[in-house]
């Protein structure tokens, strides 16, 4: 087995890297152990978190950092203790690359690895051996095989990539909160996460899917994705009143501290739930306790899912023909891609293609 | 059966009534119909809602008002269409005295009358569909729709039952609904009328551990005597939020200050924990970071009272588990002073006004 490949990728050196200033350099991955897998990366989705991290938006980032956590490629080296993956498998890894996996960990032993107190992010974090984690805007990735999932045959690599973070981030709250026949779902924001929220809600056979956005620009696309209704909150007067009490579950993918949260809550029926997945760089807008008390409603949050959840979602997507709307960009143009992402131009997810590796 | 009862009670005439200026005078109750019940009041608990209403704290109160919605007494007149109550029964009514009760109403038909959207009448300062005003229990008699009148179990004293009709149910309902029971670690924020019921009911439902969270340690001894296992004094333990992080499955918050350390409370939740707000601030809830919910998959919700069926269930549990609320009886003629004392936080833990003219 050829193990003399070098780990090189797009590195952000400081907060200004987000403006299109990542540099292509070598980096030192964690030392390989028998529980690890090396992936030759062919595709990597561009996620909003990549932007927040390059910019140190949520907290200071640990530079140099290599972002990208919607990684798909081929397993080229598999540690002896890894049983779920073989060399040559088409595989992926999302936003989490490790947890403690101990039997006395309440979360890991309950299939909630993504809530383990020793959660390790795929980039901008550290493994327990103190080595840094690096993401997928690169040629190769190395990490624990327990967090590597097989990509089902029914999905192309470009389609599978965004599901590994964006997809699971909307699929989990839909599934965990009963989205399905009889339910009316609202999806706030029609972007990378939001468009997948619409596609998955339809695939889960919800009675009605309502796309909620600021302007009508995305209405046509939302309908093509399967939305039954569309609310343009900057354009429809008194929308909160006319659509009041019409939704059982809302998944909110937007992350502006100015979002009209009180009005969104009006859309919920009795005992309805509002699940926030987009993470603002500031506090959520304040709201009155009565908004929750009067209708027995709840506001929750959700992030990604466990490896088992991700595997289930990928199989579901393949079976139900859930096809993310991706736009392929060359990995060589990653800097331009992140600038375009920040400008809101993606329709609806950029996937960086490592052309050299994809030519296998 | 005599139907010429004089309806007289303590009337709030303006915002200053909360300062101990209610006036004893007659008023016109709703016209009697065959779905109504008249109660000769012996006991009425004092709820903080009474103060908010006398003061027009939540919105303009339609004065004159008679507050009090933890009413117990004897049914002295029962409409022909009311089948579950007999004249002479010891009965009670809580904070809700009307809903539409139509079969096509999703809420009424599914036993959550407290969330009826079509027509929902509060026991005081509200309006029935016929336009008449509702009057509460700081009075001699109450006339209310029989559907909301509950029989008090024989083994439960009237003075103990009265505060359960609003204070008790307001914490019992979310505790039950959110799975309080064996295996759960529950937190109760605030040790007042509602908070003390929170401790009693959480233990009665079988929670593994109950923690009281208060500002100072003044109520610590009382908390332990009520059955709490732990106590956190947030103004006295500087690093409480870190020290007790990730320790509670369910928190019921009975406090109503816009300054409460909400983010700290959310930090106490375990993975997938839930925070239910029942105290209603006269202002917006403090802001918090979306991350507080997202990282642990937690939820924040609200709850208000409960349905007649839930109230009945709660009273039976109170009998079964021999729940003894800490009440202090005050003569109805001293209602003004009792209201002032309640406002000054002196209740330990619920005042119950005793109408000494009427046998229990």
Per-residue pLDDT tens over the stretch B183-192 = 999 999 999 9
Contact A292 B302 (CB under 8 A): yes
Cβ–Cβ contact A100 with B under 8 A: no
| Residue reference for tokens 């690890």 | A36
CA angle A225, A231, A237 (to 5 degrees): 165
Task: Say if residue A113 is in the same domain as residue A220.
Answer: no
Secondary structure (3-state) at A44: strand
Q: Is residue A22 part of a domain?
A: yes
Q: Is residue A156 part of a domain?
A: no
The model's pTM is: 0.93
Cβ–Cβ contact B259 with A under 8 A: no
Task: Say if residue A292 is in the same domain as residue A229.
Answer: yes
pLDDT for residue A355 is more than 70: yes
Got the DSSP string for B165-193? Answer: GTHHHHHHHHHHHTT-STT-EEEEE--SH
CATH code: domain of residue A129: 3.90.180.10
Q: B15, B140, B66, B47: which is closest to B338 by C-alpha?
A: B47
Cβ–Cβ contact A295 with B under 8 A: yes
Using only C-alpha atoms, chain A has a radius of gyration, in whole angstroms, of 20
Number of cross-chain residue pairs from A and B with Cβ atoms under 8 Å apart: 112
Task: Say if residue A140 is in the same domain as residue A186.
Answer: no
Segment B314-343, tens digit of pLDDT: 999 999 999 999 999 999 999 999 999 999
Mean pLDDT is lowest, of A16-20, A128-132, B15-19, B268-272, for: A128-132
- The shortest CB-CB distance from A293 to any of B277, B283, B288 is to B277
Outline where A38-115 has alpha helix (H): 48-54
Q: Is residue A161 part of a domain?
A: no
Cβ–Cβ contact B117 with A under 8 A: yes
- The shortest CB-CB distance from A299 to any of B246, B256, B299 is to B299
Could you give the CA distance from residue B152 to residue B74 in angstroms, rounded to a whole number?
10
Contact B302 A289 (CB under 8 A): yes
Q: Between these two residues, A258 and A224, which has the higher pLDDT value?
A: A224
Cβ–Cβ contact A292 with B under 8 A: yes
pLDDT for residue B3 is more than 70: no
Both tokens of A269, joined, read 């029926």
Counting the structural domains of chain A, the total is 2
pLDDT in the model for residue A314: 98
Task: Say if residue A140 is in the same domain as residue A173.
Answer: no
Task: Say if residue A346 is in the same domain as residue A288.
Answer: no
Could you give the CA distance from residue B189 to residue A62 in angstroms, rounded to a whole number?
38
Task: Say if residue A124 is in the same domain as residue A244.
Answer: no
pLDDT in the model for residue B1: 46
* β-sheet bridge partners, residue B127: B133
Q: Which domain holds residue A193?
A: 166-301
pLDDT in the model for residue A2: 61
Task: Say if residue A14 is in the same domain as residue A144.
Answer: yes
pLDDT for residue B197 is more than 70: yes
Q: Is residue A320 part of a domain?
A: no
What percent of chain A lies above the pLDDT cut of 70?
Answer: 99
Chain B residue numbers with beta carbons less than 8 Å from the beta carbon of A58 are 291
Q: Is residue A344 part of a domain?
A: yes
Task: Say if residue A276 is in the same domain as residue A194.
Answer: yes
Cα(first)–Cα(last) distance of chain A, in Å?
Answer: 16
Both tokens of A63, joined, read 């530079």
Mean pLDDT of B268-280: 95
Q: Is residue A306 part of a domain?
A: no
Contact A302 B277 (CB under 8 A): no
Task: Say if residue A197 is in the same domain as residue A277.
Answer: yes
The number of residues in chain B equals: 360
CATH code: domain of residue A287: 3.40.50.720
The number of residues in chain A equals: 360
Task: Say if residue A258 is in the same domain as residue A132.
Answer: no
Segment A327-346, tens digit of pLDDT: 999 999 999 999 999 999 99
pLDDT in the model for residue A321: 97
pLDDT for residue B282 is more than 70: no
Could you give the CA distance from residue A225 to residue A228 in angstroms, rounded to a whole number?
9
Segment A270-329, tens digit of pLDDT: 999 999 998 877 788 888 888 899 899 999 999 999 999 999 999 999 999 999 999 999
Chain A residue numbers with beta carbons less than 8 Å from the beta carbon of B277 are 289, 292-293
pLDDT in the model for residue A231: 98
Distance from CA of A353 to the nearest CA of B (A): 30
The interface predicted TM-score (ipTM) is 0.90
Task: Say if residue A98 is in the same domain as residue A127.
Answer: yes
Q: Which of A165, A292, A295, A304 to mutate to test the interface with B (most CBs of B within 10 A)?
A: A292
Q: Is residue A311 part of a domain?
A: no
Q: Which of A114, A247, A293 to mutate to test the interface with B (most CBs of B within 10 A)?
A: A293
Contact A295 B115 (CB under 8 A): yes
pLDDT in the model for residue A288: 83
pLDDT in the model for residue B38: 98
B246: nearest CA partner in chain A: A117
pLDDT in the model for residue B259: 86
Could you give the CA distance from residue A171 to residue A150 in angstroms, rounded to a whole number?
18
Task: Say if residue A339 is in the same domain as residue A278.
Answer: no
Segment A225-234, tens digit of pLDDT: 999 999 999 9
pLDDT in the model for residue B288: 85
Got the DSSP string for B1-26? Answer: -------EEEEB-SGGGGGTT-EEEE
- The shortest CB-CB distance from A301 to any of B290, B302, B304 is to B290
Which residues, at least 6 apart from B333, have a Cβ–Cβ distance to it below 8 Å?
B356
Q: Is residue A319 part of a domain?
A: no
All domains of chain B, ordered by start, with CATH? 8-165+325-354 (3.90.180.10), 167-302 (3.40.50.720)
Contact criterion met (CB below 8 Å) for B251 and B227: no
């Amino acid at each position: 087995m050829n193990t003399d490949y070098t780990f090189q990728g797009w590195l952000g050196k400081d907060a200004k890297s987000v403006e299109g200033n990542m540099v292509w350099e070598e980096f030192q991955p964690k030392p390989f152990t028998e529980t690890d897998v090396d992936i030759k990366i062919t595709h990597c989705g561009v996620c909003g978190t990549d932007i927040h991290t390059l910019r140190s938006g949520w907290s200071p980032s640990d530079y140099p950092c290599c972002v990208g956590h919607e990684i798909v490629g081929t397993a080229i080296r598999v540690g002896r203790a890894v049983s779920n993956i073989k060399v040559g498998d088409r595989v992926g890894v999302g936003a989490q690359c490790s947890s403690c996996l101990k039997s006395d960990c309440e979360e890991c032993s309950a299939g909630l690895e993504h809530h383990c107190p020793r959660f390790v992010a795929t980039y901008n974090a550290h493994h327990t051996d103190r080595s840094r984690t690096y993401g997928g805007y690169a040629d190769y990735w190395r990490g624990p095989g327990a967090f590597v999932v097989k990509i089902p045959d029914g999905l192309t690599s470009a389609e599978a990539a965004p599901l590994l973070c964006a997809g699971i981030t909307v699929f989990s709250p839909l599934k965990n909160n009963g989205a399905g026949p009889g339910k009316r779902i609202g999806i706030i924001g029609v972007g990378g996460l939001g468009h997948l929220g619409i596609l998955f809600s339809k695939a889960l056979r919800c009675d009605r899917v309502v796309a909620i956005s600021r302007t009508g620009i995305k209405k046509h696309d939302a309908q093509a994705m399967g939305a039954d209704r569309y609310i343009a909150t900057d354009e429809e007067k008194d929308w909160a009143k006319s659509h009041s009490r019409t939704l059982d579950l809302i998944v909110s993918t937007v992350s502006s501290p100015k979002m009209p949260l009180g009005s969104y809550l009006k859309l919920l029926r009795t005992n309805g739930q509002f699940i926030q997945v987009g993470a603002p760089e500031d506090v959520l807008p304040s709201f009155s306790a009565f908004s929750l008390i009067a209708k027995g409603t709840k506001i929750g949050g959700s992030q990604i899912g466990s490896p088992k959840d991700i595997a289930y979602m990928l199989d579901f997507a393949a079976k139900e023909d859930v096809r993310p709307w991706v736009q392929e960009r060359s990995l060589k143009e990653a800097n331009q891609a992140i600038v375009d992402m920040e400008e809101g131009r993606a329709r609806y997810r950029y996937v960086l293609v490592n052309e050299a590796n994809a030519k296998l | 059966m005599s139907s010429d009862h004089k309806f007289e009670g303590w009337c709030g005439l303006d915002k200053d009534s909360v300062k101990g200026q209610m006036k004893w005078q007659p008023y016109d109750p709703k016209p009697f119909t065959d779905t109504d019940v008249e109660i000769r009041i012996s006991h009425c608990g004092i709820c903080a809602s009474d103060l908010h209403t006398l003061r027009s704290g939540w919105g303009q109160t339609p004065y004159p008002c008679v507050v009090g919605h933890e009413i117990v007494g004897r049914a002295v007149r029962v409409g022909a269409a009311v089948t579950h109550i007999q004249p002479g029964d010891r009965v009670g009514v809580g904070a809700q005295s009307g809903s539409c009760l139509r079969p096509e109403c999703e809420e009424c038909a599914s036993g959550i009358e407290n969330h009826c959207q079509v027509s929902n009448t509060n026991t005081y300062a509200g309006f029935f569909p016929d336009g008449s005003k509702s009057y509460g229990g700081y009075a001699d008699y109450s006339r209310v729709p029989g559907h909301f009148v509950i029989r008090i179990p024989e083994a439960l004293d009237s003075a103990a039952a009265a505060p359960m009709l609003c204070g008790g149910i307001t914490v019992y309902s979310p505790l039950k609904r959110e799975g309080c029971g064996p295996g759960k670690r529950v937190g109760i924020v605030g040790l007042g009328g509602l908070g003390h019921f929170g401790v009693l009911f959480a233990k009665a439902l079988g929670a593994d551990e109950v923690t009281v969270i208060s500002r100072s340690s003044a109520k610590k001894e009382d908390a332990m005597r009520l059955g709490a296992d732990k106590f956190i004094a947030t103004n006295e333990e500087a690093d409480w939020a870190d020290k007790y992080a990730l320790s509670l499955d369910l928190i019921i918050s009975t406090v109503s200050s816009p300054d409460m350390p909400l983010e700290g409370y959310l930090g106490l939740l375990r993975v997938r924990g839930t925070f239910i707000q029942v105290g209603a601030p006269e202002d917006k809830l403090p802001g918090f970071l979306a991350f507080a919910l997202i990282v642990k998959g937690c939820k924040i919700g609200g709850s208000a009272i409960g349905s007649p069926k839930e109230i009945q269930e709660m009273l039976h549990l109170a009998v079964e588990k021999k729940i003894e609320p800490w009440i202090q009886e005050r003569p109805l003629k001293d209602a003004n002073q009792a209201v002032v004392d309640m406002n000054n936080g002196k209740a330990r833990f619920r005042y119950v006004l005793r109408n000494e003219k009427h046998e229990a």
